[in-house]
Structure 1
Amino acid sequence: MRPALLLIFIRFLKLGLTAFGGPAMVPYIRAMAVDREKWLDGQNFRLGMSVTQIIPGATAMQVAAYVGLRARGGPGALAAYVGFSMPAFLLMVGLTVLYFSAQELAPVMAAFRGLQLVIVALISHAAFNFAQRYLDSLPARLLACLAGVWLGLRGNPILALVVVCTLAVFVFREEQGDGPRTTAPIDTRPIRFAGLLLACLIAFVAVLHFIDPTLSSLGLLMIKIDCFAFGGGYVSVPLMFHEVVEVHGWMSEARLMDGIALGQVTPGPIVMTGAFVGYALAGFMGALVAAVTVFSPSLIILCAATPFADRLTHSPIARRVLKGSLVSLVGLMAAIAVRFAISVEWGMLEILIALAAFIALRKKVDIIWVVLAGAVVSAVVL
């Protein structure tokens, strides 16, 4: 028996309330969907894991949508997606409202100065982890350096992604596809649902243009960020930094770092920082537009790609492109860490806080506790 859409929504709403750590939520999704609810079997779940790694989007969000898609088709994917992301959105909006209303208070400002230090440590830690995992050859290291230097020279990170992924097709020939094979006929219903979602997204942006061109510009920007977020939510950080700070000038580096910090104390993917950007630009409507548009493209791509999941996971080219995106991410993250570090005012206390945060992250202390501790300590000593 197929589960009710409301049940899918509630199950993922509960998971979304504790969705800290991004991909770390995947085992919990599996335990709920495969072991307890039996909405799909282990083989199909593994296939979904493979395809969500190849396409853009935040991994945990994509896995949630995949489970909903297998359980109840396109509407199930949408129910899972909305349920899983709603707690993060509501909490982000609430914290953002408090941020803008209380930012003149000295302890609040001190706390956010400390959080900026934690963000430098967090981005450095993420870049270090990705480097250890994906820079396994000299060509990989050179391509990562190429992406990092390009962003350091204020180049477009999307161009860096495209160039590195193209070169990866020819450089990483050892990358081969894998995953379970299937002879089942292609189910076109998810593809049709993806087409419906795409039409709705286009209409949504068109209506926004007539209401307020700023909102449509915001929506188009978030769509672009999501379309190139291969390798998970962290890819959105350099993309968002380039577009929001350098291209449009909507906020300073320091303020974007504050938004990223708020994204770390809320459940859900780091790309929810887009809601912070949207609120700063146009209040609650801006936050809603940003949240809708920064997640919609990856959901559309997932629905369209799932019928071809076995072909994608067996495609050597798809695997090489994924490897290229992950390699470029290392360079982009390292460059962003440097840019953020330059924007911070350093003293002995600042160095100690950043170093303590970095060491705690390397020791695998949960991100949420590092962020909260950094805020509290900074509010007292800075």
Structure 2
Amino acid sequence: METTSTFAPRYSLWQLVQYMLRLGALGFGGPVALAGYMHRDLVERRGWISESDYKEGLALAQLAPGPMAAQLAIYLGYVHYRVIGASLAGVAFVLPSFLMVVALGWAYRQFGGLQWMQAVFYGVGAAVVGIIAISAHKLASKSVGKDPLKWSIFLLLAATTLITESEIAWLFIAAGVVNWLWRAPPAWLRGKPLHAIAATPFALSALNAADLPLLGQLGVFFAKAGAFVFGSGLAIVPFLYGGVVTEHHWLNDKQFVDAVAVAMITPGPVVITVGFIGYLIAGFWGACVAALATFIPCYLFTILPAPYFKRYGKLPGIAAFVDGVTAAAVGAITGSVIVIAKRSITDLPTILLALTTVALLWRFKKLQEPIIVVAAALIGLAIFPLLHR
């Protein structure tokens, strides 16, 4: 089946950039919600991107290391406008939230912390769980359907993500292989193997960051974070903690927790917390180095394999592999909903906030998520001080 990418696009590059700027500025909820928004807006409502192109992008974003939502945005920019589209879409998606966390980093340093953040996150965190749950349901119904094998893959990945609270990269590949061998088994298995495009960031680990100036140390550390961490932006948090707090002692525990909270209450990719962390460590240039070093590997991991996905993605074996990986990705995303809920749903008010969010989004299909997020933030500011005096 042909994809829309074989025809002239129904939108201009500037329209796509405008959309990514808006999503980066208003898109709350972490990677699953952002991926859901892209599907809803670009596939379902506007018809700019075909379902198959979207699924290829989602599969590639899960297979390659780096933040999933940013890689999906880059790939969707590549679909019709190739490298220039990928580059502009990626920058437009990340830039708004980067500017926000830099501003918050400045305020944090100027005023000695952000006590109000706990109250905001109390409300927003609960609402975000509801937003992610609705997005995960939509993705599952589209990608998994009623296929028993895909449901098995979905449930396995949901369970492992819930139990381990992380995304296990090799399981995505295994899911793709299983679905490929079941749906489109090759006539012979001794042909040329599929060569994955692999950059070689591993040399970074051999560098002795202790001998470099501070910005150099930041660049090396955050490049490793972007190159070695798979899946959602939340997956980068344990890696960052180990380096930023435990190994280098750049931040203390409270500062690190505040950095993660900033990422959760600001729109755009969760991994943009690296900008806030970089600002606290080395000011504006520290934020720039941390963000660039984190996102450049994921950019390369997306545009380098993209031509091969476009060229060979419709072969039955490749299509089956992508379907398997997609089912695994949606399962992992669903598991992450529960992981996030365990941290955000702490009492009766947060339970009610999450359930109300689900009910509103279920009933009113065109309700904009930013409206819910703002309302939840105001509720948090009002309720949290009363419950935590």
Question: Shorter-chain TM-score category?
Answer: 0.5 to 0.7
1:95-147 Cα deviation digits (max 9, x unpaired): 2322343355xxx5254245146426634763686478369745643443234
- For the Cα contact (< 8 Å) 1:357–1:374, is it kept in 2? no
Q: Distance in 2 between matches of 1:117 and 1:246?
A: 28
1:219 maps to: 223
Question: Conserved in 2, the CA contact under 8 Å of 1:219 and 1:289?
Answer: no
Extract unaligned runs of 5+ from structure 1.
36-41, 152-156, 178-190, 230-234
Is the 1:147–1:161 Cα contact (8 Å) retained in structure 2? no
C-alpha separation in 1, matches of 2:115 and 2:111: 9
The letter for the 1-side match of 2:60 is: I
Measured after TM superposition, the shift of residue 308 of structure 1 is 2.1
1:89 matched to 2:98? The reply is: yes
Matching residue's letter, 1:244: L
Percentage identity across aligned positions?
Answer: 17
Contact 1:353 1:374 (8 Å CA) reproduced: no
Map of 1:185 onto structure 2: none
The corresponding residue for 1:312 is 313
Amino acid at match of 2:226: M
Q: TM-score, normalised by structure 1?
A: 0.65
CA contact (8 A) 1:222 1:290 kept: no
Report the Cα offset of residue 73 of structure 1. 4.0
- Alignment of structure 1 residues 205-354 onto 2, 5 Å: 210-212=212-214, 214-215=217-218, 216-225=220-229, 228-229=230-231, 235-237=232-234, 239-245=235-241, 249=245, 258-310=258-310, 311-312=312-313, 314=315, 315=318, 316-338=320-342, 340=343, 351-354=347-350
TM-superposed deviation, 1:275: 1.9
One-letter code aligned to 1:55: L
Aligned to 1:53: 58
Residue in structure 1 matched with residue 187 of structure 2 by the alignment: none
Q: Aligned partners of 1:7 and 1:291: how far apart in 2?
A: 24
Q: Give the structure-2-normalised TM-score.
A: 0.64
Does 2:168 align with 1:165?
Answer: no
Question: Contact 1:218–1:278 at 8 Å: present in 2 too?
Answer: no
Q: Which residue of 1 aligns with 2:356?
A: 360
What corresponds to 2:160 in structure 1?
146
**CA contact under 8 A between 1:223 and 1:293: conserved in structure 2?**
no
The answer to whether the 8 Å contact 1:62/1:298 transfers is: yes
Alpha-carbon distance change, 253 to 150 in structure 1, aligned in 2, over 3 angstroms = farther
- The one-letter code of the counterpart of 1:360 is T
CA displacement at 1:261 relative to structure 2: 4.3
Equivalenced residue count is 328
1:200-224 alpha-carbon deviations (Å, 9 max, x no partner): 9989x97987333531213311332
* Equivalent AA in structure 1 for residue 94 of structure 2: S
